[in-house]
Each structure stands twice: as C-alpha cells, then as structure tokens.
Structure 1
C-alpha cells in the first residue's frame, strides 16, 4: 500500500475499538479474509452511524448550540477526502477547534446544562466526540450507551404515540367527513330523483309543451319544508350531543382533579370500601339465591293455581255459553208461547162460537129433508129440461138465420 494510506490507517487504528482485527501491511490477505474484513468494517460503520445519530439527537435535544458548524465541517471534510485523504485528521482538528468543538471537552460548558442528567449526557456525548474525532480522550461505556439509547427510544415512542393519537383523530375526522359527504350525496341523489319524477316527468304539460311554473314552485316549497324539518331534527340532535359532550367533559375534569388529589391513603380507603362492598355483594348474592328458590316455589304454586284457574275459567265459559243458549231458547219459547196463546185464544173463540151454534142448532125432521130433497131434484130436472129446450130453440134460430141469408142472397 501507499504511504498516505498507511498514515490514514494508523490514525483510524488509534481511534478504533477493534484495532487488533486489522492485519499489518506486510501481510498478504486472502480473498476470504478480505471479504470478512470488509463485512466487519461495514458492520462497524453501521454501528458507528447509529451511535452518531443517537449522540446527535441527544445533543440537539439538550444543547443545540454545540452542533453549530459540525455539518459544514463534515461537508468540507467529505470534499477534501477525494483529493487528499492524508490531511483529513489535521483538517478535522483545525475545523473542530475553529467551530467550537473544544467546548465539548471543557467541563465548564457542561455546567450550563439544565440538570445533572443532561450534563452527564452531554459529557458522554463529548467523550464520544473526543474519541471518534480526536483519537484521544475517555470513551463511554456500555451503560452510558444503553442509557442514551433507552432515552432516545422513550422519546421516540412518546413521539410515535402522539403521532398515532393525532393520526387516529385525523382518521376519525376524515371518516366523519366521508360519512357526512355520503349522507349529502344520498340526499342530493334523492332530491334529484324527486325533481326528475315530480317536475320533469310528471309536471310536463303535453299541450303547452313546457313545465308550468306552479309545479316548480310547489316542488321547491315542499322541498324547503322537508329541509326545514330535517334541519330541526339535526339541531335537536346536535343540542343533545352537545349536552352529552358537556357532561362527559365535566366528568373527565372531575376525574382528573380527583386523580391529582389522590393519595396512597385514599387507595387503602378505597380498598377497604371495596372489600366491604364485596362482602355486601356476597350477602346479596346469597339472598338472591334464596329469593330465586322462593321464586321457584312460588312459580310452581302459581302454575298449579293457574292451571286450576284455567280449568275453572273453561268450566265458567261453558256455563256462560250454556246460559246464553238457554236464554236464546227461552226467548224463542216465549215467542212460541205468545203465538200459541194467540192461536189458543182464536180456537177458544171458535169453540165458543161452535158451542153457541150447537146449542142453538135444531135437527130437522127426516120427512122434511126428503121433501126438500125431492123438490131440489124436481127443480134440477126442470132446469135441465129448460136448458134442452133453449138449446133446441137456438138450433132452430140458427137454421132460420141461414135460410134468411140464403133468401137475401137469391133475391
């Protein structure tokens, strides 16, 4: 290797935590060893990048003024590295002394930190900076590294929780907006369908070939009434939700105040009260079990009495039906009785008349009857003879009329 490369390697080997892993320049490396060395260097570079990122975040959080000029120095060092890698170490030393990196090593600067914890973390970061950049100074141990990592992880977790909460609120807001837009779209589609059906289709006047203004005005009036009713309902619902929100907000405020004023004694008191309440609940559960047993017995007795009552009700319904039937039959019998009474009265009257006739009737003599019968027979015979005589005379009259007609016709 070239001489500048050897100088750069020697400066890095002084700062590296695993300088023994690099072989001497006189040794020749095989391909496997070279690949392994490159992989190890990549892994170390990745770890160093993570450590630098954590230290930079810690410094920016605790004392941002310490990072002034670092970015310019790193950019300038990157530009010079391509032309002269030999002067990187001296350039970094001069740039750090120019931009105030010596303040990282001075303990007087650490005294201006807001707390002991921040002072210790800045000192740790200063130690790391001295170790990595200058190649000298104390190194941070594993505990300090883990403390820095845990602190940054906690900060990052808090930040992620805040972002998650904010994203959840934004998601809920967007979901509510989407629901509102969906409701608006549905209302617009319904209003459009109603307008097309009532105004354009049904309101078209075939004779005048136009839509009358009265239909349009009536549709708009009805639509405005519907909108006013919906607005009233939404206002009532909004007022209800606002009232519930105020109540919940007040409850949350009261709970927050109570949580601030709570003491361990309060928890002990609450535990004692909970134990007493648990005992009371156990007693109430036992009483509830006994009440359930009593309720079961009462239900059984009630079922028996209910069954008997149902039978009595059935018998009562049968009796009531029989009574109604008997009442109907009685009414019919009364009607028949009245009819029979009328018939009996009329028959009694007829019987009385017959009795009177019978009492007043006298049986005639047989000879009188025979004489009357003989007279009737003679009269019938005389009537028959007279009828025959009339018939003969009619025949003679008919013949005479014919003769007269013939005589008139001959003349």
Structure 2
C-alpha cells in the first residue's frame, strides 16, 4: 500500500516537473523532428570521432556500456533518469568537443578520405594498366597465332604436300619448325637486349633522382601543397573563363539570331527594292511613251489648230450667193444630170450594138475558119 502511494506521489511530481505536458501535438511533432535532426548530426559527429580515434589511438576506444538489466525496478530507473537530468548538463559541458577540435577532426578526415581516394585511383589505374597490358598481349598473341596459322596453312598444308601422293613432306615440316624456332630465338635475343637497355636507362634515372634528392631539387609535401593551391586557383580562373566563354557563346548565339533576323529583313527589302526598281523602270518606259505621245499629240494639235484657223478664216471670208443665182445653178445642175443620163443611155445602147457586132464577127470568123481548114487567111 505504501509502495503504491509513493509511486502515485512520484508520478504526480513528475507530471508537475515535466515541461512537455503543456505542449500541443504539433509542437511535440516539431520537437521530435528537431531532436531527430540533432541526433542525426550527433551520430555523424560520433562516427567521425570514432574513426579518428581508431586511426590515431585504437587503445583509447571506450567499450560500450552495458544495457540496464531487467531486474532494475521502475522506481530505480526513474531515480537514475532524474539524476542523469540533473548531472547531464555538467557531463556534457566536460565531454563536448569545441568547434576548433571538430573542424580539425573533420579536416583530418577529409585529408584521409582524399588520400584514400587518391590511393584507390592509383590502384585502379594500376589495375586498368594491367588489364590494358593483358589485353594488348592477348591481341598480339591472337595476331601472332592467326599469322602462324595462315603461314602454316600456306607453307605446310598446301605448299608442302606431294601432288602425286597428297601427303605432307616431312623435310619441309621440320625445316618450317626450325625456321620458326630460329625466328623465336632471334626475337628473344632482341627482347633481352631491349630489356638490358631499359635496365640501364632505369639505373641512370634512379641515379639522377638520387642526385636531385641530395641537391634538394626534389619536390616535397609543401611544394605539392603549393602546387595544389595554384592548381585550384588556376581551376577557378578556368571556371571563370569558361563562364565568360559560355556567356560570350550565349551572346554570340543571340547576336547570330539577331543577324539572321536582319538578314531575312535585308533579303525581303532587297526583293522589294528589286521589285520597285523593275516597277520604276516600267513606269519610266511608260512615261517616255507618254511623253512621245504627248509630243505627237501636241504636233497634231498644232496642225489641227492651224487647219481650224484656216477653216475659220475661210468661213469668215465665205460669202453666200444670191437666191436667183442658186436657183439658176440648181437648174443648170438638173439639166446637166439629164444630159449625163441621156449620154449614159446612149453609151449603153452603143455597147449593146457593139456586143451584137462582136458576136456577128465571131460567127463569121468561125465560119471562115471552117471553109479554110488549112488555116489560110482570107484577104479582107
């Protein structure tokens, strides 16, 4: 009974001391997310620090603490939680790393990672070089085998067979293999000489390198760091130049687009200009013809005006005759018309008589020709 009362009292006291009791669900969720992000950062820092300790001093690694046994009572765990809350701040103050220490550890880890990456790159390059050399050797061996197969097929299978029996001559086969062995020995000798020459060159280079190391001309770590810094500066400059080049390329592209637009406009305007030129030339021709016609019309107008003036002058100078004279002239005209008609009638009668006389003459001529069949002419 006393235990239950003590537990209730402790639970009430904890509820009074717990600051999370008054928070809403959304605030608790935000608090949980924030704690998770902080825990993620702390986990990364802890793992980095463990790697650093393993690399620097492996003996200083602490063994993980044992988990609480299930025999511990609930009240004891609550009491330990309260103590940890009361003492946690002091422990964290003593055990937390400073920002400089964290930066130093992170910098060392970055350098280690870079060294590992460089080492992996070197190892991978060596492996790739080995594979390339193996592939080249395999290609060379395949080419040699193919060439040897072709030569054996040409010289032995086809060239060394007896045409009568169809069998291969053994002397040619043995001579062929002796030649191949001799060529192989010659190649081995050449490679041996080349190997010895390369060994001599290697010794010379090692001697030169040793002399440079003794004279202090060999690059050290500081020089490499300086070269890395200069390389990074040059890379930054190259990036700036690339950005400038990209910007200039964009400007050139825009300029090219504007140039193409103006070229299209120029082409359109040139075509319009050609059309206008042809139209102007046609209009000029039309104007020239109109001018010529105008000159001709002016000449005709001057002639017409001159004739008009002459006719007007004649009209002004004309005098109408008397009526009696007009009647007399009209009567004379009537008499003359009657005379003309009578003469025309007489002419018609004379023409009819002439036609009659011609017919009679033609008949007489035919009759005379019938009486003189030999074509002799009669004396009229």
If the TM-score is normalised by the length of the shorter chain, which range does it land in? Answer: 0.3 to 0.5
Query: Under a length normalisation based on structure 2, what TM-score does the superposition of the two structures give?
Result: 0.44
Query: Under a length normalisation based on structure 1, what TM-score does the superposition of the two structures give?
Result: 0.41
Which structure exhibits the higher relative contact order, with contacts defined as CA atoms closer than 8 Å and separated by 6 or more residues?
1
